[in-house]
């Protein structure tokens, strides 16, 4: 996005609306190629990631709390494509120097987020906050696209949907493989009971994620 944004501004300054629209679509299609498969994999792997990453540092982590964290992570991952699209569209409006419309769009996005959070948090807890974000960014993105379509006459929606369909098809195949492998992964309780966890795994994990207070942890902080 950072690399493409200056070219957007140049094309708009030259009143090249066709070139501006083409560059906008290039950015969108590049985002789709990354932000559809990546959050899908993250959502499917949320439970193993939480099990391995947090169980080492938090001995009191239970299967229930690990499941809650994993679900929250998965819900936030669902909103990643729309979040990325939203960021790209904010660059588009900045290139047009139309901060007034961008401000109104931020009001829409944040308004949906607040309302959704107020409704969902009492029902789902922290997972409701993650879901509220996953709802707010698509709302803001759709509102921005609707406005840009009016301003640019067209935005190439059919081509973008076709590209999204191809990426989704490939992502579906990946998801089937990942879901199958995820089903074979050990649970938090099984990992704790295993002899590997009690003997060899702690030393391996300590090298990767040094526990707070250890010399390795302090060294990694200083080097970072």
Q: Do 130 and 222 belong together in one domain?
A: no
Task: Give the pLDDT score at 118.
Answer: 95
On the question of pLDDT at 48 being above 90, the answer is no
pTM: 0.69
Q: Do 180 and 211 belong together in one domain?
A: no
Distance CA 84, CA 132 (A): 16
Residue 186: which H helix or E strand, with range?
Answer: none
Q: Do 71 and 175 belong together in one domain?
A: yes
Q: Do 115 and 178 belong together in one domain?
A: yes
Residue 197 makes CB contacts below 8 A (sequence gap 6+) with 191
Q: Do 32 and 91 belong together in one domain?
A: yes
Distance CA 73, CA 87 (A): 20
Buried b or exposed e, range 68-96, using 16+ CB within 10 angstroms: bbbbbbbbbbbbbbbbbbbebbbbbbebb
The answer to whether 79 touches 134, Cβ cutoff 8 Å, is: yes
Secondary structure string (H, E, C) spanning 14-82: CCCHHHHHHHHHHHHHHHHHHHCHHHHHHHHCHHHHHHHHHHCCCCCCCHHHHHHHHHHHHHHHHCHHH
Q: Do 204 and 120 belong together in one domain?
A: no
Most confident region among 33-47, 85-99, 104-118 by mean pLDDT: 104-118
| Domains held by the chain: number | 2
Q: Do 68 and 105 belong together in one domain?
A: yes
The vertex-41 CA angle with 205 and 67, nearest 5°, equals 60
| Closest-CA residue to 117 (of 108, 127, 106) | 127
Residue 214 lies in domain? 194-224
Render pLDDT for 130-174 as a digit per residue (tens, 0 to 9). 999 999 999 999 999 889 888 887 776 677 777 778 888 888 888
Q: Do 215 and 122 belong together in one domain?
A: no
- Mean per-residue pLDDT of the chain: 77
Q: Do 28 and 59 belong together in one domain?
A: yes
Most confident region among 36-45, 94-103, 184-193, 206-215 by mean pLDDT: 94-103
Render pLDDT for 52-74 as a digit per residue (tens, 0 to 9). 776 555 555 666 777 788 888 88
The residue among 175 and 63 whose pLDDT is bigger is 175
Q: Do 88 and 18 belong together in one domain?
A: yes
Q: Do 69 and 97 belong together in one domain?
A: yes
Q: Do 25 and 57 belong together in one domain?
A: yes
């Amino acid at each position: 996005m950072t690399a493409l944004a200056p070219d957007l501004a140049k094309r708009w300054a030259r009143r090249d609306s066709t070139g501006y629209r083409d560059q906008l679509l290039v950015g969108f299609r590049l985002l789709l190629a990354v932000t559809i498969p990546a959050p899908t994999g993250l959502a499917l792997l949320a439970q193993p990631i939480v099990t391995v990453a947090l169980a080492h540092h938090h001995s009191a982590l239970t299967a229930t709390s690990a499941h809650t964290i994993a679900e929250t992570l998965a819900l936030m991952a669902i909103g990643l494509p729309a979040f990325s699209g939203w960021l790209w569209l904010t660059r588009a409006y900045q290139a047009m120097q139309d901060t007034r419309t961008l401000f109104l769009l931020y009001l829409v996005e944040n308004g949906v987020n607040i309302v959704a959070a107020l409704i969902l948090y009492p029902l789902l807890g922290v997972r409701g906050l993650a879901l509220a974000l996953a709802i707010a960014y698509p709302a803001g993105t759709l509102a921005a696209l609707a406005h840009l379509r009016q301003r640019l006459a067209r935005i190439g929606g059919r081509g973008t949907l076709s590209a999204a369909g191809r990426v989704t098809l490939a992502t579906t195949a990946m998801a089937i493989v990942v879901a199958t492998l995820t089903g074979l992964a050990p649970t938090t309780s099984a990992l704790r009971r295993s002899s590997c966890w009690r003997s060899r795994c702690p030393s391996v994990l300590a090298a990767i994620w040094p526990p707070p207070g250890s010399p390795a942890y302090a060294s990694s902080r200083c080097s970072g």
